[in-house]
Structure 1
Amino acid sequence: MAIDTAVPETATAPHDLAAMAKATGTRYILALFVTLSGKPCAKLVPVEAIDQLVSDGAGFAGYAAGTMGQQPKDPDLIAVPDPTSFTPIPFVRPGLALVHCDPHVEGEPWPFAPRNILAGMLRKSAAAGLTVNVGAEIEYFLVNRDPDGAIRTADASDTSRQPCYDARDVTRMYDHLTEISSAMNSLGWGNYASDHEDANGQFEQNFAYADAMTTADRVITARYLLSVIAEKRGMRATFMPKPFADRTGSGMHLHLSLWNSAGSAFPDPGDTRGLGLSPTAYSFIAGILEHACALQAVIAPTVNSYKRIGATSTSSGATWSPRYATYGGNDRTHYLRVPDQHRVELRGGDGSANPYLAIAATVAAGLDGIERALDPGAPGSAQRRGDMLPMTLLHAMDALEADPVLTGALDTAGPGVSEYFTRLKRDEFFAWHNTVSSWEIDQYLTAF
C-alpha cells in the first residue's frame, strides 16, 4: 500500500512548517543542506523543537561540514529551513521528513552555499523576464564492496553484454525500483519510468520536470533516498561517474526550458533550421556551447568524471558521453540534444555534479548567449565549436578560471567562491596524480 505523504493545502498556506509536520505525522525533521562538493549535511530535529528551528535555524560548524569556504575559527553556519521544500519521507523511517535549508552566517546568506548560488542566478533570470524549468536524469549503479575494497555488481546475474532495458534485469531489481518509484510518486514527483541503463548494474528512474530550484532539491533528495533504500537491501547506490573502466559511466543529463509571461520561450513553428526553435532558444544553446569547456568544470567536477568523458569504447559498444561541444536534433551523440521544440538536453554532466551549481552555471552560460544574441551555427554533427572538451579535471579548472561568465556564476551570492572552488579541485587533481596506481605498477615495474 502506498503511503500518503501529500501535505494538505490547509497546511501549505502559508507554508507553516509546524502545521505541515503535524498534518503528515512527522516526528523528526532532517534540516539539510549540501556542500560545494555535494555532500548532504543535516541535523535531526524533533518536532518539539520545530519552533526553534524556524526562528533560529540549525547551527553547524561549517569547516567540519566540508567544502563550505570556512576555517575552524569562523562563525557557525546557520541552516535556515525553506518550508516550501518540506518533504515527508516515512518510507525511510516512520515519522521522518526533510527540509532543504539556506545556510547563513551572522544573519547573511552564505555565498559558498550551493542553494544560495542557484537562488541568486534565478533572480538574474527573473530580472530578464525568464523562468527556468529543469528536468534531471539521475543514473546510478547498484554495487557491493568486497573486503579487499573491490566493487562488483549487486545483482550477480546482471552479466549480459548489452543489458540496457533488459526486462529480466529490471525484474530482479523489482523491489528496489518499485520502492523508489512509489516514494517519488507519493511525493508528487511524477515518476514515469524506471529502467536498466547501458551498463551492468546501472539504473535510472525518471521524474517530471519542475522549476529549477525544486528540481535541484529533488536531485539531492533522490540521491539520499536511493542511497538509504539501497542500504536496506544490503546494496550501495553510487553516483560516481565511472566506477567500472569497461562500462558506460553515469550521467546527470539536464533538460532545460525558458518561460516568459507569454509561455514557453523556445518554440517557433517558423524556424528555418528544422528544430522548431525560437531565436531565444538558439542563443541560449549558443551560450552553453560558447562556455562548454568551462562549464565542464562544474557539471563534471571530479577526477573520475574525465574517465567517463575520455572513454573511447565500453563493453556495450558506446560511451554515450560527448567529447565535443556540438548540438543537434534528437541525436544522443551531441553535447546538446534537442528532443523537441520545448527543451534542450545538456548531456555533458555526470553523477558527481552538484545540481545547484550545475544548473546555475548552465543558466549563466545560456543567458550570456541571449544577452549577446549569439548564433550556434547550423545543427548537425559537422558543426564543432572550438576544441574538444577538457580531458582532465585540471584542464577544466583552467578553462573555468579563464571564463568570467562562469566564475561570475559561482560568485553570484558573493565573491571568492570560484577561486575557492578551483583551488579545491586542483588540489583534488594533484592528490590523485600523486597516488601510484596499479596501472603504473603493471606498466613500469619491470619495463626498464
Structure 2
Amino acid sequence: MTTLPALESEIVTLPTPRLSLRARAEQDEVRFILAVFVDLNGKPCAKLVPVSAADELEAGELGFAGFAAGLIGQRPQDADLIAVPDLDSYAPIPFVREGLAIVHCDPYVNGAPWPYAPRVILKRALGELAARGLTGKVGAEVEYFLVDRDEDGRLTTADSRDEGARSCYDARGVTRMFDHLAAVSDAMNALGWANYANDHEDAPGQFEQNFKYAEALVTADRVITLRYLIGMLAEQRGMTATFMPKPFTDRSGNGLHFHLSLWKGDSPAFPASDDTRGLGLSPLAYSFVGGVLEHAPALQLFLAPSVNSYKRRGATTSASGATWSPKHATYGGNDRTHFIRVPDSNRIELRAGDGSANPYLALAAVIFAGLGGIDARTDPGDPCGPGESRETSAALPRTLLHAVQALRDDSVLLDAVNGGQDIGEYFAAAKEDEFLSWHNTVTGWEIDQYLTAF
C-alpha cells in the first residue's frame, strides 16, 4: 500500500495500482502467455501471445473463430469470440516451458460475455448464489491414467510393472512414477495450490493428485490447468495422460469428484449441531442435497457427458472388485458407493462426475440444482445407512442418450442452465449427435458377435 502524510498527522492510505498483465509477465521473465478458454466439451482452446502483445490481449483485442474452436454455440458466420483475460488467474508455468505463463479468459462477443462459454455459465450460477448471500467453495479429485500405445494402437500402462487386480495405494507403483508425480506436485505447489497427496488409484496405471479447496471458479480454472499440466509433463517423459472415463474394459475408470461447501461470509453454512439425521448438516445443506438428488438424472449429462462415461457408470465390476461409480441417486455418510457422500458436516462429495466432465459446466449445473432445492426447501429424506444402496431411489441414466432425455424431461434444470438462451437444448442436441455417431460406427465387438452368427 502507498501512504501519504495528511493534516494533523493523519495517514491516508491509497490502493496500490494493479499491475497490468504485461507488467506481471515482464516481472516474471515470461516471454509468452497462453490465453485459454474451454468449449462446452472442456477442450482447452488457446493462443500463444508474446508478452509484447499482452496489452492488446488485456484490452480485449484477441479474437477467435468460435465455430472453429469447438462446441460453444457459434455458427461459421458469427462474430469473433474475444478472449478477455481474468488477471486473477494469471500464473507462470516454467515447468512446462521456460518463459511461459497461462491466463484463463472469458469469451465475449460484441462487447458482452458470451452466454455459451462454460466459464461465463459458472459465473452466472455463482451470481445466483451471491444473490442469496452465499458463496461456494470446491475441492476436486482429478483421476487419470498414464498409458502408452503399441504399434497396433492398443493401450498399455506406461509402467509395464504396474499390474495386478489390487494396485490401489501401491507404494512401488508410486515410486516408479516418482519423477512424473513429483514434477506435477512441485508445479501445483509453485502455483500456490497446496498439493497434499499423490496417490496410486484403484487400477493399474491410474493416479490421483490432490490440491486444497478454493472458491468454485478458482477450482474450476485449476482443474483445466491441472489437466493441461499433467498432459504436458507426461509427454515430456514419453507417456500419454488420459482422463477418459473408461479406457480399459476390465479396470475401474477415471472419476472427477467434487467436494462442495456453501458459505455465508466467512462462516460455513453446512454444519449444524442439532441434526437429528446424524450427519451434522443444517436444514440449508439438506435442502441443497435434496435439490441435487431431485435433478440427479439430468445432472448426469453434465457430470458424465461422453459415450464412454456410461461404460464406467454401467460397469458391473472391475478387476479390483469395485467400480466406484454410483448407479442410483442416493446419499449417505462416509460411504463411497453413493451419489452424494457426506464425509463430514462441512461439505458434500459429488461422486458421479468422471474425467470427461467440464468442471465449469458441471459445477454450474449442480449449483443450479442445489439452489432449486434451497428455494423449495426440498427434503432429501433420510440418508442411507452404511452399505445400504436403497435402489428405490432414482436410477441414473444407463447411456448418454438416456442422460440427454433426462435433461430434456427436467424443465426446471433445463431452464436454469439455459439462462434465457437455449444452452441446455444446444448441449443436449450435440450430445445426442455424439451418441448417434458412436452408435452408427461398426465396432470390433459387432464383427465378433455377428459376422458368422446368422
Question: TM exceeds 0.5?
Answer: yes
TM-aligned CA deviation for residue 261 of structure 1: 2.9
TM-aligned CA distance change 1:352 to 1:12, over 3 Å: farther
- Mapped contact 1:89–1:97 kept (Cα < 8 A): yes
- 1:242 paired with 2:249, answer no
> Aligned ranges for residues 246-261 of structure 1 at < 5 Å?
246-261=250-265
1:426 equivalenced with 2:432 (yes/no): yes
Could you give the per-residue CA deviations for residues 71-103 of structure 1, whole angstroms, max 9, x where no partner exists?
A: 111111101111010011011011100100000
Indicate the SS of the match to 2:195.
coil
Q: CA deviation at 1:23?
A: 2.1
1:406 to 400, 410, 413: 413
Moved more, 168-177 or 46-55: 46-55
Q: 1:215 aligns with which of 210, 213, 219?
A: 219
Cα distance 1:13–1:318, how it changes in 2: closer, same or farther (>3 A)? farther
Q: 1:45 aligns with which of 40, 46, 49?
A: 49
Pick one of 115, 118, 132 that aligns with 2:136.
Answer: 132
Q: Is the 8 A contact 1:325 1:385 kept in 2?
A: no
Conserved 8 A contact 1:289-1:385: no
Which of 81, 92, 99 matches 2:103? 99
Give the conservation status (yes or no) of the 8 Å contact 1:364–1:405.
no
Query: Would you say the 8 A contact 1:256–1:343 is kept in 2?
Result: yes
- 438-447 vs 428-437, greater mean Cα deviation: 438-447
Confirm or deny that 1:182 pairs with 2:186.
yes
Q: Which residue of 2 aligns with 1:389?
A: 396
Match of 2:412, SS state, is helix
Change (3 A) 1:23 1:160: same
CA distance in 1, matches of 2:398, 2:305: 12
- 1:283 is aligned, of 287, 290, 310, to 287
Give the Å deviation of 1:125: 0.5
Q: 1:225 aligns with which of 210, 224, 229?
A: 229
The 5 Å alignment of 1:68-79 reads 68-79=72-83
3-state DSSP of counterpart to 2:59: helix
Aligned to 2:202: 198
Q: Could you tell me which amino acid in structure 2 is paired with residue 98 of structure 1?
A: I
Deviations 1:138-195 (A, max 9, x none): 0000001122221111110001220000000000000000000000001000100001
Matching of residue 26 in structure 1 with residue 26 in structure 2:
no
Q: Which runs of 5+ in 2 are unaligned?
A: 1-14
Query: 1:121 — aligned with what?
Result: 125
Q: Distance in 2 between matches of 1:284 and 1:354?
A: 21
Q: Residues 206-355 of structure 1: matches in 2 within 5 Å?
A: 206-261=210-265, 263-355=267-359
Q: 1:260 to 1:13 in 2, by over 3 A?
A: farther
Per the alignment, residue 5 of structure 1 pairs with none
Paired AA for residue 256 in structure 2? M
Contact 1:117 1:411 in 2 (8 A): no
Question: Which secondary structure state, in structure 2, belongs to the residue aligned with residue 192 of structure 1?
Answer: strand
Residue 19 of structure 1 and its aligned partner are, at CA, apart by: 2.3
Q: How many residues align?
A: 438
Partner of 1:3: none
- Is the deviation greater in 11-20 or in 229-238? 11-20
Greater Rg by CA: 2
User: CA separation in 1, counterparts of 2:413 and 2:192?
Assistant: 33
- The 2-side partners of 1:382 and 1:430 are apart by 32
* Runs of 5+ unmatched residues, structure 1: 1-10
3-state SS of 2:300 partner: helix
Tell me the TM-score normalised to structure 2 length: 0.94
- Which of 360, 364, 370 is residue 360 of structure 1 equivalent to? 364
Cα distance in structure 1, aligned partners of 2:403 and 2:353: 13
Letter in 2 for 1:217: D
Report the Cα offset of residue 382 of structure 1.
5.3
SS in 1 for 2:141: strand
Partners of 2:392 and 2:287 lie apart in 1 by 14
Alpha carbons of structure 1 residues 13 and 229: separation in structure 2 relative to 1, 3 Å: farther
Separation (CA, whole Å) in 2 of partners of 1:232 and 1:13 = 39
Paired amino acid for 2:123: A
- Counterpart Cα distance in 1 of 2:76 and 2:452: 46
Q: Look up the equivalent residue of 2:158 and give its one-letter code.
A: A
Compute the displacement of 1:406 (Å).
2.2
Q: Which of 155, 171, 174 is equivalent to 2:159? A: 155
What is the Cα deviation at residue 37 of structure 1? 0.6
Shift of 1:385: 5.8
Shift of 1:445: 1.3
Q: How far off its partner does 1:15 sit?
A: 5.2
Aligned-partner SS, 1:56: coil
* 1:443 match: 449
Report if aligned partners of 1:15, 1:84 keep a CA contact under 8 Å in 2: no
Q: Does the 8 A contact of 1:299 with 1:353 survive in 2? A: yes
- For residue 446 of structure 1, report the CA deviation from its aligned partner: 1.5
Task: Provide Cα deviations, 1:357-414, integer angstroms capped at 9, x if missing partner.
Answer: 00000011111111100111111125456431000000000011121232233323x5
**Mapped partners of 1:67, 1:127: distance in 2:** 29
Residues 52-91 of structure 1 aligned to structure 2 (within 5 Å)? 52-91=56-95
Mapped partners of 1:389, 1:343: distance in 2? 22
Q: Indicate the RMSD between aligned Cα atoms, in angstroms.
A: 1.5
Q: CA deviation at 1:281?
A: 0.6
**Equivalent residues of 2:147, 2:158 under 8 A apart:** yes
TM-score norm. by structure 1 comes to 0.96
Are the counterparts in 1 of residues 22 and 52 from structure 2 also a CA contact under 8 Å? no
Identical amino acids, percent of aligned pairs? 63
Query: 1:410 corresponds to which letter in structure 2?
Result: V
1:286, distance to aligned residue in structure 2 (A):
0.7
